[in-house]
Structure 1
């Protein structure tokens, strides 16, 4: 196959491309605008491969999309290009509307025109894979809550939550109603709806995946885990929103890359697959774990935990996300290989070994200051 990956210079997109080039014989065309969060250094290990090509294109540019599709003739599209930071969406929602909604619409229309010109067999086998987030579902009941609020959660799976053992808490399933909380998640929910509408109306063979919080190598330092690692190494405060009791399901990015490739190759058109790491952790637990690993690998006299600073919570902050990934495991045979303990150790070690990369990607435009506090 020849795969067109939008946003391939970003955190998840670059992991997908590294996985494909390193582990398959497929070809990849990386289409990326190269915003602040896109960095071709994330692809150094595969960029010289003859099966890899790069196109610097904005997904809102219809003429350039038409050119790329006609020139490269991909067999599938994996659409990851998106503005993805909640705090930035609070400060400047317009960019999120433009890229995530208008950009997805533009790409869908270019793809539809291209798809309709294919031969019958290529047309039947073509796939448009839209990569989204669990944040479109809103938030879930927290183990510290006594009620589930006003929302109804269909067929919750019973399992052990991060609070009391044996606690029955609902998880996001593929049927969970959408209830986005931030400009970011609302824009991603909108793009999900567009993708599904293009199948229902035009017959475009689409796949949708919604994933939990990713972490791992090459993550831009505005996100929690790299921010904590780098601030700790410099002796700077480690900002924790509110009490730090917000719960996320953490997914190692290389596990996610394997899942996405399996979906585009084996998934059933029209289906949605939730992808999670089976690792529910409170934010404060994540920060404590990072501090303890750093204390082991880069010991200092005072514990890194002393740098933890509680700050005012993010506006509209969701309290808990948790994915039921049983569908993709049952139907496609995917399950995460990394536990949070193994994945976070690999991640911390990678940042320790690649501090020069971290310095270069910040390039003076972002120095790990807090974003999204203005609201």
Structure 2
């Protein structure tokens, strides 16, 4: 019996969009899983019909190789969703069904559930159909957390589902240096896509009496305040832990400082934002929206503080004792070491293996 994992070429962008996928693949390969490389992602808006046809042909050629390589009773792990145009990715279903008929054990690890993110009714229905079509073929599904598992069961997924709890963030610990200076003793770090569409709240931070340091692409510097905000630039995901200096990392999304709203913000009630893993792996406690799904994990492991809105940050920081913060740092240090080594994925894979 051999173990295989599907590996798709990651996007080379200055945010963590492909970091989680790459880390999963790297961890599996280190654990002895054999990589099966399939067509690189082509993610664009308004993809032409001709381009979709070309993408589809490439996908089918690659997946035919997969079905020929993987034998009866082998195992294969697939990261979902596939990194290409969603309707083209549906072509892979026929090949996954072939693997199922060959009695291959299929594990699907979820990165995103688009039906939770979109607020368009027709899109939501299409994505729910696509998600169930893929996930029902798995012997085991790895979801983010209990909230996401509840949603999947609610829409009719009847298979074993396991909670990852939090994503790993592979990085060498030696590359992380935390210099304590007056400049960063109280700074709140924000890392990620800083566009007004994705992170509109960033452009309201002048209403919050706290110091913020921003890292990431797509910041509209003309629209953001300057009194309490410092923009430090954009860095590749593997370099970020080395350059993040501050007291907390902020896990927030949406257009408002008062709540995590809109498609991106409401999604936080179900997903595990990858930036949480970035901060913890970078030895930073986190500030997280109290209604976010990840807040329970942060609270149980004492890795940070929860807020209902960003206006609460100054009061929360003022009330934080040095002793409490030091305890957080110790907890973050232990958790960060696990994330940097890929222990969360290894743990859930052992759980699946023990059920066989």
Q: TM-score, length-normalised on structure 1?
A: 0.36
Q: TM-score, length-normalised on structure 2?
A: 0.38
Which protein, 1 or 2, shows the higher relative CO under an 8 Å CA cutoff with sep ≥ 6? 1
